[in-house]
Amino acid sequence: MPTANVDDHEDVWVFVEEHDGDVASVSWELLAEARELAADLDEDLVALVIGEDVDDVAREAIQRGADRVLVVDDPVFEPYRADPYGEQFRYLVEEREPDVVLIGGTHTGRDFAGRVAVPAHAGLTADCTELGIDEDGHLEARRPAFGGNVLATIKCERHRPQMATVRAGVFEAAEPDPDRDGEIERVDVVVDEEDAVTSVLEREVGDTADITDADRIVAVGGGAEGDIEPAIELAEALDAELAASRKAVDEGWIGHDRQVGQTGKTVRPDLYVAVGVSGAVQHVEGMNDSEVVVAINSDPNAPIFEHADYGIVGDLFEVCPELTDLLEEADEPEEVIA
Amino acid sequence: MTAETAQDDMDGGRLSHDRTVSDPNYDGEFDAVVVGAGLAGSAAAITMARDGLDVIVLERGVSPGAKNVFGGVLYTPTIRELVDIDDAPLERYVGEKRFGMLSDDDETAVALRPGEWHEEPHNDSYTVLRGDFDEWFAEQAVEAGATLVTETTVTDLLRADDGTVVGVDTDRPDGELRASMVVLAEGGNSLVSEGADLKETPDRRDVAVAVKEVLEFPDNDDAIQDRFRLSGDAGASYHYFGDGAVGDAFGGAFIYTNDDTLSVGLAYRIEDAVSSQPKPERTLNRFKSHPAVAPLVRGGRTVEYTAKTIPEGGADAMPDLVHDGAVLVGDTAGLVLNNGVHLEGTNMAVESGYYAGQAVASAVENGRTDADALRSYSRSLNDSFVVQNLERYEWLMETATEDRDLMFRELPRAIADAGGEYFRIDREPKATHAENAKARLLRTVGGWRGAAKLAWRYRKVIS
Amino acid sequence: MTDPWTVVVGVKQVPDEDDVSIDPDTGTLDRADAAAILNRPDRNALEAALRLKDEVDARVIAMTMGPPMATPALETAVAMGCDDAVLVTDRAFGGSDTWPTSLALAETAEYLGADVVVCGEETTDSSTGQVPPGIAAHNDWAQLTYVEELDPLPDDEQLAARRDVEGGYERVVADLPVVVAVAYGENDPRPAGLHRKIYAETEFDPVELSADDLGIDEDTVGLAASPTQVGGMETVDPVARERERVETPSELVDELADAGEI
């Protein structure tokens, strides 16, 4: 199998995902991390912006750390579709021969990353939690394996580019620096509406908060046995986002977009309250970076207690309402005696 | 029919549509449907399959034994006839049997450790873990040619207009299956047999509740060997009764040694569970904390906790075993012996499966499915140890129930007190102690006449 | 009258993640006792494919790449309602990462004349989610991932779908042939019918396809053709937690207030 001429490939690329001008937070998170990788490799950090009317995004990419931005601007790229994005990106990768390509592990990123990796015969490691450069200058992509108890290091030594996807919330974005300078280059558009094999009829994105952004989370699990009201009320009292374990999602009590864990989202809030969650390894993997973890479970042997800072053994249908009441009392303004 | 090469399966570039069956239907394809892949079910399946019948076993659990709960000792004389037991997953053989009477903090025990039990065939008594054993046993049925389908629950029987059982209905879509005979091996919770009016829902008095824990000792690898004085594959079976074991209820507790776990549990009549007893779990905890028992289970971590009901009715509570198109075996047929001294069910289950299997095979071979053609099953069972034992101890259970306060509470205490008195060390002469011990005992049983009456009443236990 | 659709469903047999435990002595994962089951997201894929068959004239064929012991996954697929199944098996495939795996499955999809390929969102053992887009890329076909609902449009030779996107959804139409990845847990997988289950587990045998049958050059698959390699494994230091047990909710509120969390 022909391998790439590794030395000819240069630069660290980060795909900046935007929809209708809104940039996905994971892109800035990746850019911040890639800044360090580029420094280690002594290469340029290039942001790749694909969309329609994306000049503002390109400028912000510079402010957020990119040395250069490649802009592909055309109506064919709005809204997002796998085939035009994949084809355009593949063309650029072949033309420009980047060393490393990083893509946010969102539904969009995971959708088209493969369309690039396959024709480029690139190595693609998905859902990385750590990135680094080894002494030979290869990308080390680390990801949890076997339920999260082992961290596997994946390398791609004889193929280029080295690609990785990273889920939202794993890295931290850098603040934009308005004084930063960089180069913005507009590149050729190589796809045509005629070639497209999909079309988007409708796209509705609401105000649903992304749980990966939340500072506080109340997650509900199998112990709720269908009744998630106590958890919802506790979340309201704490001004927290509601999330869930796989069990609660599988049972249909709550949507998949609120699922935390290996097959859900990774979150890192300041406060994570697990209500009726058993604490299976696959769930813990998605919230173990929380600052403070509280567990409420009726089973004293539930694994979640091993991963919590504070644990209450009790019936969530009693504990949650009590907690909610206490919190609401505390929130009430004190009586001022004039 | 398998193809020689992939090409044979192709038909103009696509997989040939004739390769697979679009609407498979197995009605009439099987001679017998066995409901439940437990010991009775698999024994019947093995017997019938070996006789050339097409047998299908429908098991509701994910694997055979997954839903089975029992104390822990398997009696294997008939199993040995059916399969090669050397290949079976057995835990330990029973090298010692111990009976203890417990009152509040006393224990009086008798232990038997015959040398003979420590040599093959080990008195045909082994501790097993049902998940492992049942799966292996069902596998023997599959090897004999039976079909095993799991995760499928039989919900009802199918009947012809004249009432003959002609198949089963299950919880799966398209779930009816017609076959010549149905062998009902559902276990103690025999909802299908009861729902189909093949047997009465057991009298409240005739069912016992049993709870059991499996304990492991992660911090002490030698706990079991040391505490029960075991070496090699030897194991022990400890039985307890009296109010220190199961409180006010009629029943007993047990501890069995497995390879590296202990099965600890108890069983007592369900009517006691409702009337005077605390919850079964609490009774079990109380038993485990009895001063004579606690050192045996100290440091044990519960890795499994289960509860079930056991039919205890004895010979009189047995339902009709044969019907047109169906037979009942195992716990479903009420074939359990539980009188505190003997706890048996598994050997009777296998025996009944074996005889039922033979009867069904012979009926099918003669083209018959009616109850009369199956009577050889009832006859064989009546002539076997199964029913004979049930009848023999039937009276014991009735009798002991009448005397229960005496048997389970007063007598254990009296024996303990008398024993304590007899062996008391102080400055009184031994004769005084002996006198006091005797008096204590006699007071409880009603003097010498009372003792004689009691001995006469219970003579059958050892004659 | 349009031609019946050929719908190919990709399935994988994986260790049951609920059975996998941590060896307390070594801290490593013990997969030995884990039963092999059908990857749970694939059940949703099978259900989606069978619903297509409920709506339009279609033939559903399950495919899996693996050793012969992967056959039970195919039996489950047929029991649920698939018309047929193929086992893509060859020593040459051993050690493949997602690149050669998606190549082999792409070739199989073509071999079978697929109009639609349906896969689960990801597998619970490797969870890269890269095989469905990989199949689409190898064949240069359309793709639809994170699909919640499918809507076949046979007269236009297209497949419409409702896709889950962060914070909402979109409705997309794709030209056939198309690769679909169904979002995990999006539908209720139907139970297998009794007679089909008996058939699948006793009489049914999948067609076995080798690299040769598929016209795949052995150099393009297997460990040597996999761009990614596992460089090392290290056990992760568990995050240090206080593990404090609190008796009452008011105690908890106090602790959290002290810690500055509320």
| Closest among B354, B357, B355, B317 to B333, alpha carbons compared | B317
Distances (CA, A) of B407 to A197, B401, B419, B422, B454: 85, 9, 17, 21, 10
The domains found in chain B, sorted by start residue, are 32-89+128-199+316-383 (3.50.50.60), 205-311 (3.30.9.90), 401-461 (no CATH)
The token pair at B263 is: 């099965």
C245 vs A202, A292, A313: nearest CB: A313
**Cβ-based contacts of A281 with chain C (< 8 Å):** 22
8 A C-beta contact, residue B297 and residue B262: yes
Between A and C, how many CB-CB pairs are < 8 A? 256
Which residues partner with A163 through β-bridges?
A101, A124
Interface contact B15-C112, CB threshold 8 A: yes
Give the domain ranges of chain A: 6-195, 211-331
Query: What is the 3-class SS of B129-195, one letter each residue?
Result: CHHHHHHHHHHHHHHCCCEEECCCCEEEEEECCCCCEEEEEECCCCCEEECCEEEECCCCCCHHHHH
Any domain includes C242: no
Chain B nearest CA to C62, separation (Å): 12
Total number of domains constituting chain C: 1
Q: What is the mean pLDDT of residues A174-189?
A: 94
Any domain includes C175: yes
Interface contact B175-C194, CB threshold 8 A: yes
- For tokens 């103009």, what's the residue? B12
A149 vs C27, C143, C255: nearest CB: C27
Cα separation, C228 vs C221, in Å, equals 13
Any domain includes C234: no
Interface contact A118-C239, CB threshold 8 A: no
C227 vs A81, A159, A200: nearest CB: A159
8 A C-beta contact, residue B165 and residue B159: yes
Name the CA radius of gyration of chain B, rounded.
Answer: 25
Do A6-195 and A211-331 share a fold? yes
8 A C-beta contact, residue B103 and residue B242: yes
pLDDT of residue C23: 53
Q: What is the mean pLDDT of residues C237-249?
A: 83
The token pair at C211 is: 């690299």
8 A C-beta contact, residue A233 and residue A240: no
| Closest among C204, C197, C190 to C46, alpha carbons compared | C190
| Closest among C9, C216, C223 to C103, alpha carbons compared | C216
pLDDT of residue A112: 87
8 A C-beta contact, residue C84 and residue C111: no
Chain C nearest CA to A184, separation (Å): 29
**Cβ-based contacts of C213 with chain B (< 8 Å):** 5-7
Residue with more model confidence, A170 or A95: A95
pLDDT of residue C32: 60
**Cβ-based contacts of B14 with chain C (< 8 Å):** 6, 112-113
Any domain includes C114: yes
What is the per-residue pLDDT across C152-205, written as a single tens digit (0 to 9) for each?
999 999 999 999 887 788 999 999 999 999 988 789 999 999 999 999 999 999
C172 vs A1, A152, A201: nearest CB: A201
Interface contact A311-C243, CB threshold 8 A: yes
Residue type, B5: T
**Cβ-based contacts of B59 with chain C (< 8 Å):** none
Interface contact B25-C113, CB threshold 8 A: no
CATH of the domain at C35: 3.40.50.620
Cα separation, B67 vs B83, in Å, equals 23
**Burial bucket for residue B40 (CB in 10 Å: 0-12, 13-18, 19+):** buried
| Closest among B290, B287, B345, B352 to B312, alpha carbons compared | B345
**Cβ-based contacts of A118 with chain C (< 8 Å):** 99, 102-103, 133-134, 137-138
- Does the pLDDT value for residue C149 go beyond 80? yes
Any domain includes C215: yes
Phi-psi region of B81 (alpha: psi -120 to 50; beta: other; left: phi over 0): alpha
Any domain includes C243: no
* Cβ-proximal residues to B431 (8 Å cutoff; 6+ apart), any chain: none
Measured at the CA of B132, the angle between CA B127 and CA B136, to 5 degrees, comes to 110
Most confident listed range (A208-212, A303-307, B69-73)? A303-307
Cβ atoms < 10 Å from Cβ of B188: 22
pLDDT of residue A336: 47
Query: What are the helix (H) ranges across chain C?
Result: 40-55, 71-80, 98-111, 131-139, 194-202, 249-258
Q: Residue C98: give the domain boundaries.
A: 5-227
Say yes or no: B28 contacts chain C, CB-CB below 8 A.
no
Say yes or no: B149 contacts chain C, CB-CB below 8 A.
yes
A198 vs C103, C142, C259: nearest CB: C142
* Cβ-proximal residues to B139 (8 Å cutoff; 6+ apart), any chain: none
Cα separation, B283 vs B241, in Å, equals 12
Most confident listed range (A61-75, A254-268, C219-233, C234-248)? A61-75
**Burial bucket for residue B430 (CB in 10 Å: 0-12, 13-18, 19+):** exposed
Say yes or no: C93 contacts chain A, CB-CB below 8 A.
no
Span A211-331: which CATH code? 3.40.50.1220
Q: What is the mean pLDDT of residues A80-95?
A: 94
Q: Considering only A3-7, A303-307, B94-98, which range has the smallest mean pLDDT?
A: A3-7
**Cβ-based contacts of C190 with chain B (< 8 Å):** 173
Tell me the residue ranges of DSSP E strands in chain C: 5-10, 13-15, 21-22, 29-30, 36-38, 58-65, 84-88, 116-120, 142-153, 158-165, 168-175, 178-182, 207-209, 229-235, 244-245
C:225-244 residues touching chain A, CB 8 A cutoff? 225-236, 238-239, 241-244
Say yes or no: B129 contacts chain C, CB-CB below 8 A.
no
Search chain C and give the residue with CA nearest A288: C239
pLDDT of residue B195: 92
pLDDT of residue C260: 82
Side-chain half-sphere exposure of C1, counting CA atoms within 13 A = 1
Mean pLDDT of chain C: 89
Distances (CA, A) of A127 to A131, A166, A290: 11, 5, 18
Element (H, E) at A96: helix A82-96
Q: Which CATH superfamily is domain A6-195 in?
A: HUPs (3.40.50.620)
| Closest among A220, B6, B70, B282 to C212, alpha carbons compared | B6
**B345 phi and psi angles, rounded to 5 deg:** -160, -35
Any domain includes C244: no
Point out the residues of chain B with pLDDT beneath 70: 1-14, 69, 203-206, 270-278, 311-314, 338-343, 394-397, 401, 460-463
Which residues partner with B94 through β-bridges?
B235
Neighbours of chain A (3+ CB pairs under 8 A): C
Interface contact C137-A294, CB threshold 8 A: no
Chain B nearest CA to C233, separation (Å): 28
pLDDT of residue B206: 65
| Closest among C240, C119, C190, A235 to B174, alpha carbons compared | C190
Say yes or no: C223 contacts chain A, CB-CB below 8 A.
no
The b/e string for C246-259 (b: 16+ C-beta within 10 A; e otherwise) is beebeebbebbeee
C:26-55 residues touching chain A, CB 8 A cutoff? 27-29, 31, 41
C255 vs A256, A270, A310: nearest CB: A310
pLDDT of residue B420: 86
Dihedral sign for Cα atoms in the order B212, B130, C34, B219: positive
ipTM above 0.90, yes or no: no
* Cβ-proximal residues to B56 (8 Å cutoff; 6+ apart), any chain: B26, B30, B32, B33, B34, B146, B147, B148, B149, B177, B179, C198
Q: What is the mean pLDDT of residues A168-180?
A: 89
Q: How far from chain centre, in Å, is Cα C6?
A: 18
8 A C-beta contact, residue C51 and residue A169: no
Cα separation, B279 vs B266, in Å, equals 12
Say yes or no: B20 contacts chain C, CB-CB below 8 A.
yes
Confidence class for position A275, pLDDT limits 50, 70, 90: very high
C242 vs A110, A309, A326: nearest CB: A309
Mean pLDDT of chain A: 89
- Best of C22, C25, C194 to substitute, by most chain B Cβ atoms within 10 angstroms, is C194
pLDDT of residue B2: 43
Interface contact C252-A312, CB threshold 8 A: yes
Confidence class for position A264, pLDDT limits 50, 70, 90: confident
pLDDT of residue B149: 97
| Closest among C110, C112, C115, C119 to C139, alpha carbons compared | C110
pLDDT of residue C200: 97
**Would you say the pTM of this structure is higher than 0.90?**
no
**Cβ-based contacts of C98 with chain A (< 8 Å):** 114, 124
8 A C-beta contact, residue B110 and residue B98: yes
Element (H, E) at C227: none
